[in-house]
Chains A and B, each alone.
Chain A
Amino acid sequence: GAGVSQSPSNKVTEKGKDVELRCDPISGHTALYWYRQSLGQGLEFLIYFQGNSAPDKSGLPSDRFSAERTGGSVSTLTIQRTQQEDSAVYLCASSLYVSGRAGGGIQYFGAGTRLSVL
């Protein structure tokens, strides 16, 4: 497929467990983003990767959240010791990097991973 792929599509876990969410961006897209979509908060930025630059982690809500991007392609978002307030849809997006354009490239989203913490 040509779009952003996320897995799993649904994840149910128990409070206190760790979870890993995966994102496979559109081929050739150097920029990758994670967002969280929850009922009370809407869509919130979590983290941004661009090429080999240091990621912008400013949106991560706590140190239980981390993300990595291997080989400039696939990314994994890890949530340690999950809490009920972590229940949300985690969306990944990717874009081409547009040099000199402050807004970056147009972001294309995956279908998301729906996380439920019991």
Chain B
Amino acid sequence: QKEVEQDPGPLSVPEGAIVSLNCTYSNSAFQYFMWYRQYSRKGPELLMYTYSSGNKEDGRFTAQVDKSSKYISLFIRDSQPSDSATYLCALNNDYKLSFGAGTTVTVRA
């Protein structure tokens, strides 16, 4: 079993819809939780970064962490075609990031 599980999708939604992405993990030592966005043939770029359980909001993006369930989520409100990308969750407790497989999202205009 992988340390971090993420459904690779693909996920296709109409413009304006809410996109819901999630990861589960098995290592309770993970303390830091991140979401990266990766466009085709580009490197991952950091979207959201959280440390504790709870919600964190940044514009149209909301990250949720539930440490008791070992479950993290990313919500994208009012999705736009420019949000079409692969979204990767990343977790760590030291300098090594453990990534989910990534979910490919397409937002249809």
Which residues of chain B come closer than 8 Å to A107, judged between CB atoms?
46, 97
Which residues of chain A come closer than 8 Å to B46, judged between CB atoms?
106-108
B41 within 8 A of A: yes
A103 touches B99 (CB 8 A): no
Residue among A45, A102, A114 making CB contact with B97, cutoff 8 Å: A45
B31 touches A4 (CB 8 A): no
User: What is the size, in residues, of chain B's interface with A at 8 Å between Cβ atoms?
Assistant: 24
Q: A103 with B31: in contact, given A45-B97, A109-B43 (CB under 8 Å)? A: yes
Count of CB-CB pairs between chains A and B under 8 Å: 59
Q: Taking CB as reference atom, which chain B residue is nearest A58? A: B96
A59 touches B96 (CB 8 A): yes
Besides the known contacts A35-B97, A91-B43, 16 further A-B residue pairs in the complex with CB atoms under 8 A apart: A4-B43, A31-B95, A33-B97, A42-B99, A42-B102, A43-B88, A43-B97, A43-B102, A45-B97, A45-B98, A48-B96, A50-B95, A59-B96, A107-B46, A109-B45, A111-B42
Binding site for B on A (CB under 8 A): 4, 31, 33, 35, 42-45, 48, 50, 56, 59, 91, 93, 95, 102-104, 106-112, 114
